[in-house]
Amino acid sequence: MVEELVTTGVALAAAGAVYVMAAARVVKQYERGVVLRLGRLASAVREPGFTMIVPGIDRMRKVNMQIVTMPVPAQEGITHDNVTVRVDAVVYFKVVDAADAVIQVEDYRFAVSQVAQTSLRSIIGKSDLDDLLSNREKLNQGLEVMIDSPALGWGVQIDRVEIKDVSLPETMKRSMARQAEAARDRRARVINADAELQASKKLAEAAQQMSDQPAALQLRLLQTVVAVAAEKNSTLVLPFPVELLRFLERSGLQAQAQTEAYERARGGSEQAPEDAAPEGPRRERMVREDTAREAVSREEIPLDAAEDELPGIEPGIDLPGVEVPGIEIPEVEVPGDEGTRRDGTST
């Protein structure tokens, strides 16, 4: 009798141990347990820790509640400005309702992946290329809203969506490179022109300051010579003063004025009415003209004497002495009485 009781107790203990082992479940901290009893959802979702189910009647499915990182395959599409691009992204989501993730959708991971791909293709067609390259934050928000709308009914919450890469055709890359190069070239030209404008203003101020102090210009010239000589090259730099050019220009103008005055004097003497004057004064005037011409050619008379003796020269003109080549005066027949020669003898 005792042996039968012991045997029955051992059998019951063994059966209880087997039942406990079959019914015992452990739910981890990041998981939730969804129990289906005879195919129907149990009222409560099992929390993390130790739990029991009815073996053979209940079936429990564990749902991971961690944030899932899902890469979206690259999608090729045409942007709003007719540019073919390939865009890939990454989706971060998590399950917020374990029961809906098991009951409402067959495979919530696959469903989220498909919705992400279709939403990405849709956002490519609505956006321009510049938005895809520079305004990604706005596109990420729009893509998140498009994926999150159907996922809410599946017990899934989209945490964030990021566009990872945008692949462009090679021709478009070259065009964008040329555009960027042209923009940088334009910016460099504008900066250079602005620098030239500022430098010209400073140079104008420096020139005005040096015009008041001529010694400053000479010092600046010497500094330039020292800077050139410091390079230890074989080039010889000889500064040519601008004042010397101005002096030569003034000398040339004075010489031209003197020549014009002499030509006017000569022309006036040829057009003088010689018939009305007597023979004696005519000879005396011709001798004076010859003497004045020889003196001018040899630079033997001063400028004041030339102004007094040469007819037609306007007084008050400061003319420097200029070497004028001698002019041969041919014999001129002086009109007078018929039968009278130049030496005063009658024919």
Return the bridge partners of 161, or none: 91
Task: Output the pLDDT for position 282.
Answer: 56
Q: pLDDT, tens digit, for every residue of 165-205?
A: 888 888 888 888 898 899 999 999 999 999 999 999 988 88
Cβ count within 10 A of residue 117: 18
How many Cα atoms sit within 13 Å of 78 on the Cβ side? Answer: 2
CB-CB contact of 128 with 81 (8 Å): yes
pLDDT, mean of residues 251-259: 82
Residue 60, helix vs strand vs coil: strand
User: Which of 160, 165, 159, 158 is CA-nearest to residue 132?
Assistant: 165
Return the bridge partners of 167, or none: 86
pLDDT, mean of residues 36-41: 86
* DSSP annotation of 154: G
Query: What's the maximum distance between 2 C-alpha atoms anywhere in the chain?
Result: 204
What is the pLDDT confidence band of residue 324, given thresholds at 50, 70 and 90? very low
The rounded distance, in Å, linking the Cα atoms of 241 and 214 is 12
CB-CB contact of 32 with 94 (8 Å): no
The rounded distance, in Å, linking the Cα atoms of 45 and 30 is 13
**pTM exceeds 0.85:** no
Task: Output the pLDDT for position 68.
Answer: 92
pLDDT, mean of residues 337-347: 45
